[in-house]
Amino acid sequence: MFPASRYSVQAQRCIRALKTVQAEHAPPQHYMWRRNCSSAVMPRITSHYTIFPRDKDPRWEGVEMARFADEADVVIVGGGPAGLSAAIRLKQLAKEQEKELRVCLVEKASQIGAHTLSGACLEPSALNELFPDWKERGAPLNTPVTEDLFSILTEKYRIPVPMLPGLPMNNHGNYIVRLGHFVHWLGEQAEELGVEIYPGYAAAEVLFHEDGSVKGIATNDVGIAKDGSPKDVFERGMELHAKVTLFGEGCHGHLAKQLYRQFNLRENCEPQTYAIGLKELWLIDEKKWRPGRVEHSVGWPLNRNTYGGSFLYHLNEGEPLVALGFVVGLDYTNPYLSPFREFQRWKHHPFVAKTLEGGNRIAYGARALNEGGYQCLPKVTFPGGMLIGCSPGFMNVPKIKGTHTAMKSGMLAAEAIFPKVTAEDPASETAGLHIPEYEDNLKKSWIWKELYAVRNIRPSFHNYFGLYGGMVYTGVFYWILRGKEPWTLKHAGLDSAQLKPAKECTPIEYPKPDGKLSFDLLSSVALSGTNHEGDQPPHLTLKDDSIPVANNLAIYDGPEQRFCPAGVYEYVPLETGEGMRLQINAQNCVHCKTCDIKDPSQNINWVVPEGSGGPAYNGL
């Protein structure tokens, strides 16, 4: 994708600098679910340089650590809807005003769209603004919504709920899309406008000027062995400097976490709250296919106090495809809950099973999503940079949509940036430009109005009646008052603090997968196309290797074994038979970030692996 021959000379020079000497990759493989420990001594789990600095490691003495640096006007981290919309809008403005503007975008996936996962039912408002002629340009919006179904599920029955006009989940005028394909198309539009796109290169570090403002980013080093030592093919990443750097990493970006601390961006907002979304793509019997139908449900198999629900979308892409998924709020309390197994169990409901029976599952993936909304929005501007898209959390939770708001945030950022970066005298007090106009424009936009109106719907579920109390609140205060109530409800707090000790909870007995509708975890991960270079430090780092056994296993019965949707974490016995140790199967990681969010000890820190590693989604 994006062949070098179509780039500018500058881009080709940058690609040559980025190109690394790589060892031969082993074929894709996944760790066995159970492996015997090779030593009675508990091995060190974490070897990443972010935990064990290289300047204190004698194995790194004499290794050349200089990095090549390149300059751009704007650098964008993340090739999702927000980052690409920002890049496109910047180049549109440059073309309109006949200005030279260099925009570079880095994306950790091997191809644009390969790490993108969403339902997805797209509201085209931002797309209409960005490309009014998107139909003529061939945007892959092939399935207009024709039918909207909403249900409350009990174990065996379905209670239909009327989808009244004005309710958040009414999808009239929207399109069912495969978001990875849509993002790929956005990448093509950006390339045509002259945006320099570098897939396969992960932004690993934020760079700062001496005055503390953001200078740019550095891509990740390659050629580091699993034990943290340099290989013979070790090469440093490169630095990309810019007047302004946009961070559009998606939900719970690892660089955004650093920026929150560095600039105290969450000082005046609540902690973000999240959910995990799991998704599959199926080919079904054509007789059951209803192109354009959108189905949502709440209720079974979750109890009334666990926030979540499902979707099942009938695509119109030339074959009888359906996209289905299950979302579980990460503020759940029972450590025995497994979002993956709840998803598998849901497919056996009679209303769902009748669509899937006789079909064939062809893809699987998972991703965390922001659910905090208005109350959890951080400050999004700081000297030298901005946060855009799902990184700060512009998702409209009741709508189950964030693509339109992510795109609009990127466009607003671009419109605030352009006059500053093209001015002869930008009048900035810092080396990296500080552009507070972006946040001002956000608060005047339809994003702010939309998120404010639905601000109380998600936290309204924190009541004795749970789901049902929240639905009543939505009907009264949103459908009638449109969010104009003179109060703002609060969320429960950090998702990591919500788990109860295992001794206070009842273990959940999940049925065995039947291999027809429900499946085991590792065969599911195999359908994600996930692979990482095996001989590299695990990118799931632990601040303290002793905490998982001493705290998570002892108190919560090892919840990371269950909340991870990819089988990355497992507790295995020590060879002596006395005690357990945590094993991290980093090759399986689908980059969902759930572990970093839900870990009750907040001991896991997700960082980027070598570029191109991770899932290889095809239109999820």
Q: How far apart are CA 4 and CA 19, in angstroms?
A: 12
Residue 381: closest CA among 392, 365, 367, 366: 392
Contacts of 397 (CB under 8 A, 6+ apart): 371, 373, 454, 457, 458
Residue 602: CB atoms within 10 Å: 14
Active site residue 422: no
| Residue 286 tokens, joined | 């054509």
State the DSSP H helix or E strand holding residue 265, giving kind and residue range, or none if neither. none
Instruction: Check if 269 is active-site.
Output: no
**Choosing from 367, 455, 458, 581, which is the catalytic residue?**
367
Residues ≥6 apart with Cβ < 8 Å to 469: 460, 461, 463
Q: What is the DSSP string of 375-434?
A: GG----EETTEEE-TTTTT--BTTTTB-HHHHHHHHHHHHHHHHHHHTSS----SSSSPP
Check 47, 118, 151, 518 and give the catalytic one.
118
| Residue tagged active-site, from 14, 178, 592, 612 | 592
Active-site residue (options: 338, 564, 581, 594) = 564
> Helix 403-421 to helix 437-444 angle, to the nearest 10 degrees?
140
Q: Which residues pair with residue 496 across a beta bridge?
A: none
Neighbours of 44 (CB within 10 A): 12
Of 403, 530, 541, 612, catalytic:
403
Task: Assign residue 529 a region (left: φ > 0; alpha: ψ between -120 and 50; beta: otherwise).
Answer: left
Taking the C-alpha atoms of residue 379 and residue 307, their distance in angstroms, rounded to an integer, is 27
Q: Is 367 a catalytic residue?
A: yes
Which DSSP category does 592 fall into? -
What is the spatial distance between Cα 94 and Cα 89, in angstroms, rounded to a whole number?
9
Determine which one of 178, 530, 595, 612 is catalytic.
Answer: 595
Sign of the alpha-carbon dihedral angle for 503, 331, 114, 228: negative
| Sheet strand arrangement including 143-144 | 121-122, 175-176, 143-144
**Integer angstrom CA distances of residue 274 from 14, 70, 186, 376:** 36, 36, 27, 11
Judge residue 146's burial from the number of C-beta atoms within 10 Å of its C-beta, 0-12 exposed, 13-18 middle, 19 or more buried.
middle
Among 391, 528, 589, 594, which one carries the catalytic annotation? 589
- The catalytic site residues sit at 118, 367, 403, 564, 589, 592, 595
